[in-house]
Amino acid sequence: MVVLKEIKRYFKERQLKPYYGTVKQINALESGMQALSDDALREKTDEFKALIASGKTIDSLLVEAFAVVREAAYRVLGMRHFDVQLMGGIVLHSGSIAEMKTGEGKTLVATLPAYLNALSGQGVYVVTVNDYLAKRDCEWMGAVFEFLGLSVGLIQSDMSPDSRLKAYACDVTYGTNNEYGFDYLRDHLATHREECCQTRRHFAIIDEVDSVLIDEARTPLIISGPINDSTSKYGKVVKACRSLLNETHFTCDLKHKNIVLTEAGNEALEKQLKLDSIFSVESMGYAHMAVQCLRALHLFKKDVDYVVKDGQVIIVDEFTGRLMDGRRYSDGLHQSIEACEKLKIQKESQTLASITFQNYFRMFPKLCGMTGTAITESEEFRSIYGLNVVEIPANRPLKREDRADLVYKTQTGKYAAIVDRVHTLNLEGRPVLVGTISIESSEFLSQKFKEKGIPHTVLNAKHHSREADIVAKAGEENAVTIATNMAGRGTDIKLTDGVVDVGGLAIIGTERHESRRIDNQLRGRAGRQGDPGSSEFYVSMEDDLMKLFGSDRMKNMMDRLGMDDTMVIEHSLVNRSIAKAQQKVEQHYYSSRKQVLQYDDVVTQQRQTIYDIRDAILLHDNTLTYMRKFIDALLEQPAFDQTLLHDVFTKPGNHESVSDAYYQQLKTHFSGHPDAVVSDVVRYIVLRTVDRKWVDQLQAMDALREGIGLRAWGQKDPLIEYKKEAFELFKELLIAIRFESLSVMMRVILKFEKAPV
Mind listing the pLDDT tens digit for each residue in 108-117? Answer: 999 999 999 9
**pLDDT score at 256:** 65
Report the pLDDT value the prediction gives residue 12, as an integer from 0 to 100. Answer: 67
pLDDT at 86: 97
Beta carbons of 431 and 500 less than 8 angstroms apart: no
Is 119 in contact with 143 (CB distance < 8 Å)?
Answer: no
Is the pLDDT at 214 greater than 80? The verdict is yes
Per-residue b/e over 573-592, b at no fewer than 16 CB within 10 Å?
Answer: ebbebbeebbeebbeebbee
The pLDDT, as a whole number, for residue 38 is: 97
Q: Residue 4's pLDDT is what?
A: 47
User: What's the confidence (pLDDT) of residue 738?
Assistant: 93
> How long a stretch of residues is the chain?
757
pLDDT value for 564? 75
Banded pLDDT at 60 (limits 50, 70, 90): very high
The percentage of the chain sitting over the pLDDT mark of 70, rounded to a whole number, equals 92
Which ranges in the chain are annotated with CATH 3.40.50.300? 1-222+365-391, 401-570
Q: What is the pLDDT of residues 228-241, one digit of tens each?
A: 667 888 999 999 99
Q: How far, in Å, CA of 436 to CA of 459, rounded? A: 10
pLDDT exceeds cutoff 50 at 488 = no
Bridging pattern class, strands 221-226 and 349-355: antiparallel
DSSP 245-285: -BTTTEEEETTTTEEEE-HHHHHHHHHHHT-S-TTSSTTTT
1-222+365-391 carries CATH number 1.10.3720.10: no
Per-residue confidence band for 252, with pLDDT thresholds at 50, 70 and 90:
confident
- Residue 260, pLDDT score: 82
pLDDT classification of 515: cutoffs 50, 70, 90:
confident
Q: What gap in Å lies between CA 125 and CA 144, rounded to an integer?
A: 16
- Look at residue 229 in the predicted model and tell me its pLDDT: 62
- State the average pLDDT over residues 297-320: 88
pLDDT (average), residues 611-635: 92
pLDDT in tens, 116-139: 999 999 999 999 988 889 999 999
For residue 1, pLDDT over 50 is answered with no
The pLDDT of residue 376 is 87
> Across all residues in the chain, what is the average pLDDT?
88
Does residue 652 contact residue 662 with C-beta atoms inside 8 Å?
yes
Segment (H or E) for 97: strand 97-99
For domain 401-570, the CATH class is alpha beta
Q: When comparing pLDDT for 563 and 269, which is higher?
A: 269
Task: Please tell me which residue, 146 or 280, carries the higher pLDDT value.
Answer: 146
Q: Is the pLDDT score of 510 beyond 90?
A: yes
**Is the CATH code 2.60.40.1180 the one for domain 231-346?**
no
What phi and psi values does residue 435 have, to the nearest 5 degrees?
Answer: -95, 125
Per-residue pLDDT for 70 more than 60? Answer: yes
* Least confident span in 107-116, 555-564, 742-751: 555-564
Assigned architecture for domain 589-747: Orthogonal Bundle (1.10)
Residues carrying CATH 1.10.3060.10, the chain:
589-747
Q: Greater confidence, 46 or 592?
A: 46
pLDDT in tens, 148-190: 999 999 999 889 999 999 999 999 999 999 999 999 999 999 9
CB-CB neighbours of 689 under 10 Å: 20
Comma-separated ranges of CATH 3.90.1440.10 domains in the chain: 231-346
Flag the least confident range among 309-313, 369-373, 436-440, 710-714. Answer: 710-714
| Per-residue pLDDT band at 573 (split at 50, 70, 90) | confident
| pLDDT band at residue 361 using 50, 70 and 90 as cut-offs | very high
